Structure formats: C-alpha cells, structure tokens
Amino acid sequence: MNRTPIQLAATLVGLTFLVAGVAGFIPGITTNASDIALYGHESPAMLLGLFQVSVLHNIIHLVFGVAGLVMAKSAAKTYLVGGGLIYLVTWLYGTAIGPATDLNFVPLNDADNWLHLALGAGMAAVGLALGKAPAHEA
C-alpha cells in the first residue's frame, strides 16, 4: 500500500488511541482496573498509574482509534486537525471544571489534561503541516 505521510500519521495516531483504549481495561497496566467505574470523577482506575480512566473514557479512546483508522485513507487531515481541536477543547474543559466535580464525567485528572493539550496541539500541527504536502496518485 502506498500511503502519504499524513495517512501514515493518522493511522499511527488511530492505533495509539486503540492501544490506550484497550490498555485502560487491562489489570497491571491500569491500577484498580477491576473497580473501574462506568463514568465519573470517582473512578479509581489509573492507566499507567497516572491517567484516570473509566469505561466511558476508554470507549472514547477506542472510538477515536477506529475513526483514525477509517479516516486515514480519505480524510486524514480532517481526522488530525479536527481530532486535535476536539482534544484542545477537552483540555480547556478539563482544566476549567477541575477534577472533583460532577461535571467531570469522563473523568479527567491533571495528567489527562496535560496529555490532552499535547495531543490536541500535536495532532492539529501534524495535520496542518502534512496536509500541505502534495498527495500521491492512487
């Protein structure tokens, strides 16, 4: 398969989200995985002992992963830039509401917020930078 750099980037980002979504359910990789909450800031589950997760949070990662794989072929720039903007909004939301409130339904802790800032900025930057390159002929 002959993929453009932006298609490869979207595929790699999608695979990364899939790995994170699955890992969020695996005991040992996720502390307190057996007590994971469906949603909410009281979930004790911590991916890599650092990122607070819930079933909802993991499902969101899985959906972003599948979207990346599906969109990589025909809408890679849209996935990277649009997904990046979604993660930047998620960062703003997480920092604005704080970790111990009912509005924190995903849940998001400080480590999640910083990761979302980096993901959002990185995805959007890669999408914009690689989106300027000429596409290969199919």
* Segments in the chain forming alpha helices (H): 5-23, 55-71, 76-97, 110-130
- Start-to-end Cα distance in the chain: 10
pLDDT at 136 over 90: no
pLDDT at 29 over 80: yes
Tens digits of residue pLDDT in 71-84: 999 999 999 999 99
The pLDDT of residue 138: 39
Q: What is the pTM of this model?
A: 0.91
| Closest to 26 (Cα-Cα) out of 51, 8, 45 | 45
Q: In the chain, pLDDT over 90 holds for what percent of residues?
A: 90
The pLDDT of residue 1: 65
Average pLDDT over residues 21-50: 97
Between 21 and 3, the higher pLDDT residue: 21
